[in-house]
Amino acid sequence: MKYLLILVMVLCFHAPSLAAQAQDLSHKSIVFGVHSKTAPLEWRNNGVDQGFNLELIGRIGQLIDKRIVVRRKTFQQLLTDVHDPDCPIDVIAVVSPVSIDRKLSQSDPIYATHAKAYTLQGKSFINSWHDLVGKRVAIKKGAFVDVYISGQPQEFERVDVDLYETGFQLLIKGEVDIVLAENFVARRLMPLYPKIRSSSDPLIYGAFNFVSNKVNAALMAQINDALRQLKLSGEYDRLVNKWFGTGREKVDLTSTQQKMLWLAIAVSIISALGMILTGYISRSLRKRTRSLNIELSQRRKAEHQISNLSQQFQSVLDGIPHGVTLFNRECDCLWSNDNNNELLENPEFHFTDGEPFELKITLLEVLNSQKSLIEDMSFLDQFWQIQIHPIGEDQAVILLEEATERQQLRQANDEASRLASLGELSAGIAHEINNPTGIIIHSVAFLNDALKDLQPASDAYQKQNPFWLIAGLEPERALHELHYSCLNIDEGATRISRIVNDLKRYALPNIASEHQRLSLNEVVQVSLRLTANQIKIFKIRTQLQQPEPMIMGDAQQLHQVLINLIQNACHASPPDDGTDTDDGMISIETSIVDGKACLIVCDNGSGMDQATLQRITEPFFTTRRSCGGTGLGLSVCSRIIKEHQGEMQITSRQGKGTCIKLLFSLEPALESLR
């Protein structure tokens, strides 16, 4: 009993000290409420809390000399706690719409994000809020989407959910039509729900903020000072690059957002006037003056924050390496970061299929249809991608990005894949076809020799029996037909053998040591003589450079290339109808362009669409399968041109014709070598 009394006295003596320590500890710590499981913001890995928001608040705690204590609760519980001034939760991180402030003490913007619509695969694209009319839309209670639409007319059926994942589950079950979800959470959930897709452009822009009860206004001021210090020192950018890998979020400032910002300023002014009027009625002149001074300070602080946010977004847009331009319906440039936008007015800037690009016409088509346009473009030897996205009815943003390297990598990968597959296929085909082809050629040669030996015997027997017939024909005519048939069989077998050899040579390395100096004009003249029978029903126009361009190459292989190109032009063009029009015109010309020997073959025939043009050099791809085409012609030509260190450029428009340009290294004239 004695010891118990002593213990009670000691506790009573130390009780004020313990209370003081607890109070001192609360002053030296910040309780940070966490609800998110979304990387890279806030999540737990192997029992360790980590993420961008956690590391940022931890660094802020170091700057203001406070320890950070993490408490995990549900999102709804954290919202309830942060509105309770007596709750131990000091700060939470939430998303607020860009144009609407929460009714809490909040920090400067931390990181930009957005919300958009998500639907099941196959559903229509959501172009604007108007497309939500009459639909069942899942909205997370208390989230920044909820804050944004509160107090606004809602022409859709709202379905409140506790989590975005609950909304995705209802979407799978068919109980809602659309989920309006924040970007970071949706990206984490979509791999778990493969039937769900993103079906709109951003509908709401928002920013992460630290928020707290207004009783913690002094604490929030310290947090803001520390946050600004981190941004000025560059440590904030290092954290952004660490957790997001792309620098600050790139969000386009549209005129709509700017209008909303001005509306927010107007609302704040009206609110300030209302507060001034209320203070004038309810308080004395001295208290009223004090209230006005406080309100004016808050207004300046809000304006400063909005100005900083606008400057940050402007610097982000100016720092984007790609071209970003905002146009109105009259094709007036409203804003531009001046990166590569001169291409939009350049006549050499056109679609990859050759169709010219008209800025105003294309812009009006996008605005009238309210559908985004994403197309591949060409400019000289470069490839570009253009994106045009409508913003409302009268404005559109145009994004320009160079895609030359990506296009070259894609072409190189396709070429490597074709060579690999063809290399594996060639050996088997050659083995299976060459053996029976050799038997045919050998047998036909035997038949030819036998027919020559049978000719005297046939003549002698016919004298004895004038009415003797062979297969219903006179002996002389029958032997002639047999000889002609043997020639056809031999020609067909030789063609089979040539196709197999072409297929084998397609994957063989170049043997440059066998190349000789030759005239490009002579290649054209020989090829025209060899195809004289085919081209006689067409109009042929030749224009040969003088002095004739000289190159290093294999004449037989180049004859094969040009003959194939001429035959393809004949197949694609209508025959000459005897009129003065250019129908059935095939033009062949040689020239010297930029120090290279150039050979061009053009026709005004049927042309090719973009899909055919992309596959035209693939082995066994042909549009004339029913007419006997093998699909090896242009693939072999492509291989031969590459063996000659040349380049083949193909342009074609459906209904307008095709033009194929071959470029070779030019050999100097013999006089200059002496």
CA–CA dist 388, 344 (Å, integer): 12
CA–CA dist 309, 376 (Å, integer): 34
Residue 606 pLDDT exceeds 70: yes
* Sequence ranges of the domains in the chain: 27-250, 320-402, 407-506, 512-673
The highest-confidence range among 13-27, 152-166, 337-351, 448-462, by mean pLDDT, is 152-166
CB 181 within 8 A of CB 110: no
Residues of the chain with pLDDT > 70: what percent? 83
CB 352 within 8 A of CB 421: no
Positive or negative, the Cα torsion across 454, 456, 459, 463? negative
User: Which of the four pLDDT bands, split at 50, 70 and 90, describes residue 540?
Assistant: confident
DSSP state string for 218-257: HHHHHHHHHHHHHHHHTHHHHHHHHHTSSSS------HHH
User: Which of the four pLDDT bands, split at 50, 70 and 90, describes residue 637?
Assistant: confident
Q: Which residues pair with 541 in a beta bridge?
A: 587
User: Which of the four pLDDT bands, split at 50, 70 and 90, describes residue 314?
Assistant: low
CA 88 centroid distance within chain = 48
Residues of the chain with pLDDT > 90: what percent? 18
Q: Which residues pair with 120 in a beta bridge?
A: 196
User: Which of the four pLDDT bands, split at 50, 70 and 90, describes residue 180?
Assistant: very high
User: Which of the four pLDDT bands, split at 50, 70 and 90, describes residue 10?
Assistant: very low
Cα–Cα–Cα angle for 27, 32, 34, rounded to 5 degrees: 165
Residue 411 pLDDT exceeds 80: no
Q: What is the pLDDT of residue 8?
A: 38
Token pair for residue 183?
């970007």
What's the average model confidence in pLDDT over 326-339?
Answer: 79
Q: Is the peptide bond before 191 cis (omega within 30 degrees of 0)?
A: no
Q: What is the pLDDT of residue 315?
A: 67
CB 581 within 8 A of CB 588: no
Residue 250 pLDDT exceeds 50: no
pLDDT tens profile 347-390: 788 887 778 888 888 888 888 888 888 888 888 777 888 888 88
Q: What is the pLDDT of residue 572?
A: 82
C-alpha distances out from residue 537 to 100, 101, 587, 629, 655, Å = 75, 79, 14, 21, 20
What's the average model confidence in pLDDT over 340-344?
Answer: 73
Residue 254 pLDDT exceeds 50: no
Average pLDDT, the chain: 80
Nearest to 562 by CA among 510, 636, 613: 636
Angle subtended by helix axes 235-243 and 217-233, to nearest 10: 80
Residue 479 pLDDT exceeds 80: no
**Which stretches within 216-371 are classed as H helix?**
217-233, 235-243, 255-282, 285-319, 359-369
Q: What is the pLDDT of residue 139?
A: 93
Looking at the domain 512-673, which fold is it? Heat Shock Protein 90 (3.30.565)
The pTM score is 0.36
Token pair for residue 179?
């989920």
Q: Which residues contact 162 (CB under 8 A, 6 or more apart)?
A: 74, 75, 76, 140, 141
Q: What is the pLDDT of residue 502?
A: 56
Residue 282 pLDDT exceeds 80: no
CB 277 within 8 A of CB 258: no
Q: Which residues pair with 333 in a beta bridge?
A: 327
What's the average model confidence in pLDDT over 523-527?
Answer: 88
C-alpha distances out from residue 76 to 161, 228, 273, 402, Å = 11, 29, 34, 46
H or E, element range at 32 = strand 29-34
CA–CA dist 316, 251 (Å, integer): 8
Give the residue, 102 or 662, on which the prediction is more confident.
662
CA–CA dist 656, 604 (Å, integer): 6
User: Which of the four pLDDT bands, split at 50, 70 and 90, describes residue 19?
Assistant: very low
Q: What is the pLDDT of residue 321?
A: 64
CA–CA dist 147, 611 (Å, integer): 48
Q: What is the pLDDT of residue 431?
A: 64
Nearest to 116 by CA among 12, 199, 44: 199
pLDDT tens profile 104-141: 888 888 888 999 999 999 888 998 888 899 999 999 98
The highest-confidence range among 167-176, 183-192, 328-337, 600-609, by mean pLDDT, is 167-176
H or E, element range at 179 = strand 178-182
Q: Which of 64-78, 425-439, 469-483, 582-596 has the lowest mean pLDDT?
A: 425-439
What's the average model confidence in pLDDT over 454-476?
Answer: 77
Strand ranges in 313-352 using DSSP code E only, listed in sequence order = 323-328, 333-336, 349-351
Q: What is the pLDDT of residue 15?
A: 42
Q: What is the pLDDT of residue 299?
A: 87
User: Which of the four pLDDT bands, split at 50, 70 and 90, describes residue 511?
Assistant: low
CA–CA dist 147, 631 (Å, integer): 62
CB 171 within 8 A of CB 120: yes
Q: What is the pLDDT of residue 13?
A: 43
User: Which of the four pLDDT bands, split at 50, 70 and 90, describes residue 674?
Assistant: very low
Q: What is the pLDDT of residue 235?
A: 92
CA–CA dist 200, 180 (Å, integer): 10
Q: Which residues contact 180 (CB under 8 A, 6 or more apart)?
A: 115, 116, 117, 118, 137, 138, 139, 145, 203, 204
CA–CA dist 145, 5 (Å, integer): 60
CATH number of 27-250: 3.40.190.290
| Other Cβ atoms within 10 Å of 340 Cβ, number | 17
User: CATH second-level architecture of 320-402?
Assistant: 2-Layer Sandwich (3.30)
Give the residue, 115 or 44, on which the prediction is more confident.
115
Q: What does DSSP assign to residue 190? A: G
